[in-house]
Amino acid sequence: MLLGILGSGSGSNMQAILDAIDAGTLDARIALVLSDNPDAFILERARGRGIETGVIDCGGFRTKFPDEAQAETAARLQAAGVELVCLAGFLRLVKRPLLEAYPGRILNIHPALLPAFPGLESWKQALDAGVSETGCTVHFVDEGMDTGPVILQERVPVLPGDTPESLHARIQVAEHRLYPAAITRVAMNLPHHHV
Ligand code: GRF
């Protein structure tokens, strides 16, 4: 299974995917890593592993993912032979041009037990809401914000004295287990070419 990763930040989830591939628990290869942020550490990590990288030009828009940029992203993923697209800390909303190029083949990881706490900084939302448990979710991407069908979830406790940082760190440990497992589950159910 050839994977394409889209990320805006540190890329620890991409690292977890690479670690699972190295450990032989995930039968896949990362063909291409794209970021909307040329300075994102995810690109440096990928280059360090000899993985092809690229920058998505969003034309100066801060949060919008323009249609032309989505079409260009789809074309680059397809040119690299990508079969499954994994959003890993990608901060723009994917819409039709990219969804239509990869129907049912785009996954996202979200730091909450969806449908609870969609959107940004879900760990902060969970602390503010005073819940005793939150978690993380891998789901298929649709046109909504964090609304597509759930693939796997893992629960994470909120502990007394938690700060946004300590809670996010605990959720990330769970994310790093969950994402490779969810990719394996999806890959088993998708028709794909053997590499
Ligand atoms: C993760 O917490 C993920 O759930 C959220 O953004 C963060 C990305 O972290 N969508 P990283 O770039 O994978 O380290």
Ligand 1 pocket test: pick from 172, 176, 177 the residue with the most ligand atoms within 8 Å of its Cβ: 172
* Ligand 1 site residues, Cβ closer than 6 angstroms: 7, 9-13, 42, 88-89, 109-111, 172, 175
Q: What is the pLDDT of residue 191?
A: 76
Per-residue pLDDT tens digits for 94-104: 999 999 999 99
Residue 81 CA to ligand 1 centre (angstroms): 25
Per-residue pLDDT tens digits for 22-81: 999 999 999 999 999 999 999 999 999 999 999 999 999 999 999 999 999 999 999 999
pTM for the model: 0.95
Q: Where are the domains of the chain?
A: 2-189
Per-residue pLDDT tens digits for 92-151: 999 999 999 999 999 999 999 999 999 999 999 999 999 999 999 999 999 999 999 999
Structure tokens at 7: 């990320």
Structure tokens at 71: 């079409």
Residue 109 CA to ligand 1 centre (angstroms): 7
Instruction: Name all contacts of 189-195 with Cβ < 8 Å and 24+ positions apart.
Output: 190/1, 190/83, 190/84, 190/104, 190/105, 192/1, 192/2, 192/83, 192/84, 193/83, 195/1, 195/2, 195/29
Ligand 1 pocket test: pick from 13, 121, 124, 166 the residue with the most ligand atoms within 8 Å of its Cβ: 13
Q: Does domain 2-189 have CATH number 3.30.70.260?
A: no
**Strand order of the sheet with strand 29-35?**
52-55, 29-35, 2-6, 84-87, 106-110, 133-140, 150-157
- As annotated, the active-site residues are 110
